[in-house]
Amino acid sequence: MLENFTLPRLLPIGVMLFNLLFFLIAIPIEAYVVNRRLKFDKKTSIFYAIATNLFSGTLGWVIFFVLEPLLPPEIKSELINYVFFNNFRYPNTQATLILTTFIIFFTTFLMKFLLLQLLVFTLREDGWKKPEIVETSQRRQLRRAIPGIKLQTTNLVTTTLIANSLSYSAITIILLIRNR
């Protein structure tokens, strides 16, 4: 697989600048949603939004540059046409692009959720402390508290989904305005 790997000689600077614009749009939107829904302070919300967006963006570019040399020539040609000339040669390419966009959206959502969950877990105040042995009365209290833990995970999922959806919607609106 890696013997056919080559880095592209021409970098799509326009696409990279649009990616920077998308970061500048997505980070404040997602930080606002995290701040409002998870009740974090603004600094922590911005940190989480920056970390999740830069991680998912970097991983997305790495995946793109790894998969691009493996694509069939027809898809490469369509990709080059879209990146440099903003048009498609074949009519069925738009359907493929829409499917790819949905895959990217849900993959990004999953990456952001897992990273946010990891960040919340590792950066909490008690850190990696091992729980102490609990007495019987405290066990009852923990059993009552477990639904709260489940609710917190559900809250992380819905918050990540809302934040990702809003940022992708804003980016889609900008792309639609750009294509007019």
Please indicate whether residue 81 or residue 167 has the higher confidence score (pLDDT). Answer: 167
17: pLDDT strictly greater than 70: yes
The interaxial angle of helices 13-38 and 73-85, nearest 10 deg, is: 80
| Average of per-residue pLDDT values in the chain | 81
Which tens digits make up the pLDDT trace of 112-169? 999 988 988 887 766 555 444 444 555 555 555 555 444 455 688 999 999 999 999 9
What are the phi and psi torsion angles at 8 (to 5°)? -70, 145
Sequence-distant (≥ 6) Cβ neighbours of residue 94 within 8 angstroms: 88
107: pLDDT strictly greater than 80: yes
Euclidean distance between CA atoms 46 and 128, whole angstroms? 23
Contact (Cβ atoms closer than 8 angstroms) between residue 167 and residue 33: no
Q: How far is CA 35 from CA 11, 12, 27, 112, 137, in A?
A: 36, 34, 12, 16, 35
What pLDDT was estimated at residue 159? 92
Which tens digits make up the pLDDT trace of 84-106? 777 778 878 778 888 888 999 99
